[in-house]
Amino acid sequence: MNAELHHGLRIDGDRLLRRIEDLAAIGPIDGGGSCRLALTDEDRAGRDLVVTWMRDLGLDVTIDAIGNVIGMRAGRTDGPPTMTGSHIDTVRTGGRYDGNLGVLAGLEVIETLERNGVQTEHPVAVGFFTDEEGARFPPDMLGSLVYVGGMAVEEALDIEGIDGAIVGAELDRIGYRGTSPCPGPSPRAFVELHVEQGPVLEAEGVTIGAVTGVQGISWTELTITGQSNHAGTTPMELRHDPGYVAAAVAAHVRDLAVRMNADGPEGGDRQVGTVGRLELEPNLVNVVAASASMTVDLRNTDEVLLQEAEADLARFVAQTAAAEGVTVTERTLARFEPVTFDDRVVDTVADVARRLGHTVKHMPSGAGHDAQMLARVCPTGMVFVPSRDGVSHNPAEHTDPADLVAGADVLLQTMLSLDGLSLDGATLQRAGLDSEESDR
């Protein structure tokens, strides 16, 4: 059954799991996760460790102007590499697998080739991209966005973080402002292994997700300004209360998503909405707030529906602010349309996984990923493995070791298959992100 798989090669599961533990030990937090917010000292220590591993493997390591790090192994011919990678920055309450798995599995793929003396036709590369999470410096996927030319590096270097730090200054401080230019050279193909971060694979008892694309993302920051006053003496009808408006908006974000899903064409379940950050000033028990700052995260696999959600939110904010007599300023922190991956890569992932004896499901990604940026410049796809209880962005994030290893083996064989594939010509894409068939 595996006769056609290249060299019958398998990755070394123990080595992969050990590296995951070693990286997770940098910036450890209660509950078993990691905190390595982008461009902090912890991120630097994580970077240093992974770069050491890349150099130990003899890779040609380059660092670009936004701090993306790429390790390259030569092929029989020169030219663009078949590339994999992900990120090693985390949210403040990160798990051990989000991003890290994709980078360390990529390293493991290359070590497996190296130890088995396998030469590929094309170079093979593994990278980690700066600030994928966007939790400190919005937008998310910042490094890969700059890598593909979606944002000028000068603009990215000027971005201010939630703590007032500036991207360029932090890159200098941690020693990761490199000299390779942005945008960077396009790979010939890109494939990223990642934990699903959602409940679908586990619920259906499927081991491998062949990811068809990534849903659209809309992040907005609202700053609401009103009239701070005494909580005991100010009559309700005379208030201009940013705290009230923020709370009403937060409730509306949830309601609009629930309503859209109930009303959707197929009674769909696609719209999600989250208020993940909400701060009041001065944040005291007996003071009507002077201002509120909050974020809204809206996502949908359908661009038209995502725009409807944005319009609904904007209407509600305007009406509620006018009724309360507060002012609102809005800032877009991230806005990315849904992305559809290349059929040739998606089909290769599914085919390889089946031939390795795994169950496979075609599915869209709910989370954002560097692969959605790389899809702008080369044939791209992703491999998902299950997340226990669908939990992620939480130190309790867990994937069974057997599934981590299965995903890395699928990554290895997918990269070898892509190495032998002619990928010239137009990118082939499915009609949409909705194909969710399982293939057991």
Binding residues vs Mn ion (CB under 5 A): 98-99
Strand partners, 194: 384
| CA atoms of 98 and 140, how far apart (whole Å) | 14
Quick one: tokens of 424? Answer: 């010239």
Contact 403, 205 (CB under 8 A): no
Quick one: tokens of 276? Answer: 């993940």
The entry of ligand GLV, Mn ion, none near residue 140 (CB within 5 to 8 angstroms by kind) is ligand GLV
Phi, psi of 397 (to 5 degrees): -45, 130
Quick one: tokens of 10? Answer: 């398998």
Q: How far apart are the two ends of the chain, measured CA to CA in Å?
A: 15
Kindly state whether residue 140 participates in binding ligand GLV, applying the rule CB under 6 A.
Answer: yes
| CA atoms of 188 and 184, how far apart (whole Å) | 13
Taking CB under 6 A as the criterion, the residue among 138, 243, 368, 381 binding ligand GLV is: 368
Q: Which is nearer to ligand GLV, 167 or 248 (CB)?
A: 167
| CA atoms of 84 and 272, how far apart (whole Å) | 29
Residue 161 CA: distances (Å) to CA of 37, 166, 202, 281, 435: 11, 6, 35, 19, 37
Nearest distance, CB of residue 105 and Mn ion, angstroms: 13
Nearest distance, CB of residue 440 and Mn ion, angstroms: 27
Q: Which residue is nearest to Mn ion (CB)?
A: 99
- Interacting stretch for ligand GLV, rule CB under 6 A, among 132-140, 175-183, 221-229, 286-294? 132-140
Q: Which is nearer to ligand GLV, 128 or 244 (CB)?
A: 128
Q: Which is nearer to ligand GLV, 195 or 350 (CB)?
A: 195
Nearest distance, CB of residue 141 and ligand GLV, angstroms: 7
Residue 412's identity, in one-letter code, is L
For the chain, give me the number of helices (H) and strands (E)? Answer: 12, 17
Contact 71, 169 (CB under 8 A): no
Q: Which is nearer to ligand GLV, 321 or 371 (CB)?
A: 371
Taking CB under 6 A as the criterion, the residue among 43, 111, 133, 419 binding ligand GLV is: 133
Kindly state whether residue 367 participates in binding ligand GLV, applying the rule CB under 6 A.
Answer: yes
Whole-angstrom Cα Rg for the chain? 23
The entry of ligand GLV, Mn ion, none near residue 302 (CB within 5 to 8 angstroms by kind) is none
Nearest distance, CB of residue 400 and ligand GLV, angstroms: 22
Minimal CA–CA distance to 417: which of 371, 348, 346? Answer: 348
Q: Which is nearer to ligand GLV, 132 or 342 (CB)?
A: 132
Q: Which is nearer to Mn ion, 123 or 198 (CB)?
A: 198
Q: Which is nearer to ligand GLV, 171 or 367 (CB)?
A: 367
The entry of ligand GLV, Mn ion, none near residue 127 (CB within 5 to 8 angstroms by kind) is none
Kindly state whether residue 202 participates in binding ligand GLV, applying the rule CB under 6 A.
Answer: no
Minimal CA–CA distance to 256: which of 204, 209, 180, 308? Answer: 308
The entry of ligand GLV, Mn ion, none near residue 67 (CB within 5 to 8 angstroms by kind) is none
Contact positions toward ligand GLV, by CB under 6 A?
Answer: 132-133, 140, 367-368
